[in-house]
A = this chain, B = another copy of it.
Amino acid sequence: MTPERLERINTMLDKRQPDLTVCMEGLHKSHNLAAVVRTCDAIGISDVHAVWKSEEAEVRGGSAAGSQNWIDVHNYHKTADAIAALKAQGMQVLVTNLSDTAVNFTEIDYTKPTAIILGQEKFGTSEEALELADQHIVIPMVGMVQSLNVSVACSVVLYEAQRQRAAAGMYDQPRLSNERRQRTLFEGGHP
């Protein structure tokens, strides 16, 4: 690796937010998966979680998500397992959903360790996710369409999180553990 490339990667790792993540529940359109992971990278997310409803989806979706070398994708077959893992890391679990009990997404404190669950393109989030999450959040809409594209919804919430974290100085100091940094450098340097 050239010194320039190493510096570029270290600068990126200095901004990573290990305590902010996204969990994609059953997403199946590869352009949506790719757009979600791309936005995650852009705001400094290091880990993404994915629940796959079938083996086939995992393979197809995994390759779209895996186009991003620098993000770790954690795979599950059950929503409950994903949410348990996120809660075990001390995360508040938010589910994006168009329910009446959902709060406006701007009302959340995203400087806390946070996981955001995204629902499937057609069917939305599962009953299980809605039950197990700590909070439902909604992005206000005033038009005729019923919902936003899932990668759009993800990005709108993530850039609100980015805004709050930038204001709180959370991008000013490296936040990744040293072990994780070394592992990422090692794995990313050997493609």
List A residues at the B interface (Cβ < 8 Å).
8-9, 12, 15, 29, 31, 34-35, 38-44, 68-70, 106, 139-145, 148-149, 151-152, 155-156, 159, 162-163, 166, 171
Q: Could you tell me the distance in whole angstroms from the C-beta of A114 to the nearest C-beta in chain B?
A: 17
Tell me whether B145 and A41 are in contact (CB under 8 A): yes
Q: Could you tell me the distance in whole angstroms from the C-beta of A37 to the nearest C-beta in chain B?
A: 9
- Other-chain contact of A151, B142, B152, B166 (Cβ < 8 Å): B152
Given A43-B143, A142-B44, answer yes or no on A148-B12 (Cβ-Cβ < 8 Å). Answer: no
How many Å lie between the Cα of A33 and that of B1 in the bound state?
Answer: 39
Closest to A188 in B: B144
- The residues of B that contact A148 with a CB separation of less than 8 Å are 38-39, 42, 155
- Other-chain contact of A152, B12, B69, B140, B155 (Cβ < 8 Å): B155
How many Å lie between the Cα of A163 and that of B118 in the bound state?
Answer: 22
Tell me whether B155 and A12 are in contact (CB under 8 A): no
Q: Could you tell me the distance in whole angstroms from the C-beta of A143 to the nearest C-beta in chain B?
A: 4
Closest to A9 in B: B144
Interface centre among A8, A68, A141 (most CB of B within 10 A): A141
Given A35-B149, A106-B163, A149-B35, answer yes or no on A42-B155 (Cβ-Cβ < 8 Å). Answer: no
Closest to A162 in B: B140
- The residues of B that contact A162 with a CB separation of less than 8 Å are 140
Given A70-B143, A70-B144, answer yes or no on A149-B44 (Cβ-Cβ < 8 Å). Answer: no
Given A148-B39, A155-B148, answer yes or no on A142-B163 (Cβ-Cβ < 8 Å). Answer: no
